Amino acid sequence: MQGRIVKGIAGFYYVDTEDGIFECRAKGIFRNQKVKPLVGDLVELEVLSQEEKEGSVISILPRKSELIRPAVANVDQALVIFALSRPTPNLPLLDRFLIMMKQKEIPTIICFNKSDMVSEEEREHFRQIYRDCGSKLLFISAKKGEGTDAVRDCLRGHMTTVAGPSGVGKSTLINHLVPEAEMETGKISEKADRGKHTTRHSELFRLEKGSYILDTPGFTALEPEAMEKEELRFCFPEFDPYEGSCKFQGCIHDREPGCAVKEAVEDGKISKERYESYISFFRELKERERRRYS
């Protein structure tokens, strides 16, 4: 039988199958192969007890992707949530996240929550900043259930990692999308928490057949992977149409004369906020480079 690992605790893997969730151990073979099953893996399992829902993971199907932090396989998109108010959006943090996902080539959906707390002008302000950032934009109110159908549509058929800083309404949205999420968590923990495992684990929730979301803890510890500062500009999709139009070949759109990107910013064709964010990350990378070589 095949299934998807939705949770792993203390050597147990919880595998979502057509017959429900099975508690499994991984067969010894994995220890020799240096490959560990990950949350998100599609696996082949051997049923040991249909009644007790116990089994063994016997093989892992080929992975489409693998994230390290959190350790999860087969994620194919990210949904990042920020509140429009309370807390006010930390845009540098959002941009950092977008850079990270772009590096990993994981398409991202930006979900601005608490739409009910701000005016249309304020929503428009953020819409303008992110209009060409390469991510789909959603404005929702998780509390009122407004716009959540659009979220559901975006998630259909995908393995989505859901991230966002504290207090933005992540739990509210997840509970809205998966009303049984809390219940399921309780059920699984009961069986697994024979020991005392209080750390937060990655866990997949099934929305519907073939659609899973992963609640991703530890958002503020985000660190984009090491990259050359000259590569950063390719993480800002709004620059793409101008790439190659600058006076100097290999222009990094900072202080060079005849820079097509800077002109586009001045003409309002590229959002000023995103450009400034680019420059600020660029300086950060430059500073890091300087320290490395000094």
Ligand X SMILES: Nc1nc2c(ncn2[C@@H]2O[C@H](COP(=O)(O)OP(=O)(O)OP(=O)(O)O)[C@@H](O)[C@H]2O)c(=O)[nH]1
Q: Which two tokens stand for residue 121?
A: 């002008």
CB of 69 to ligand X, least distance (A): 17
CB of 59 to ligand X, least distance (A): 35
Is 164 among the annotated ligand-binding positions? yes
Closest-CA residue to 91 (of 283, 273, 226): 273
CB of 79 to ligand X, least distance (A): 12
Question: Is residue 251 involved in binding Zn ion (CB under 5 A)?
Answer: yes
Select the residue interacting with ligand X from 32, 166, 199, 220 (CB under 6 A): 166
Q: What is the dihedral of CA 161, 164, 166, 168, to 10 degrees?
A: -110
* Cα(273)–Cα(129) distance, integer angstroms: 6
Binding mask 88-117 for ligand X (x = CB under 6 A): -------------------------xx-xx
- Secondary structure, 3-state, 195-212: CCCCCCCCEEEEEECCEE
In degrees and rounded to multiples of 5, residue 230 shows phi and psi of -70, -15
Is 166 among the annotated ligand-binding positions? yes
Q: Which is nearer to ligand X, 116 or 124 (CB)?
A: 116
Question: Segment contacting ligand X (CB under 6 A): 26-34, 65-73, 136-144, 240-248?
Answer: 136-144
Question: Is residue 246 involved in binding Zn ion (CB under 5 A)?
Answer: yes
Q: Which is nearer to ligand X, 148 or 271 (CB)?
A: 148
Asked, as a colleague might, if the bond just before 70 is cis with ω within 30 of 0, I would say yes
Q: How would you class 241 by CB atoms within 10 Å of its CB: exposed for 0-12, middle for 13-18, buried for 19 or more?
A: middle
Select the residue interacting with ligand X from 74, 169, 205, 275 (CB under 6 A): 169
Total count of residues recorded for the chain: 294
Question: Is residue 176 involved in binding ligand X (CB under 6 A)?
Answer: no
Interface residue list for ligand X (CB under 6 A):
113-114, 116-117, 141-143, 164, 166-172
Going by the annotation, the residues of the binding site for GTP are: 113-116, 164-172
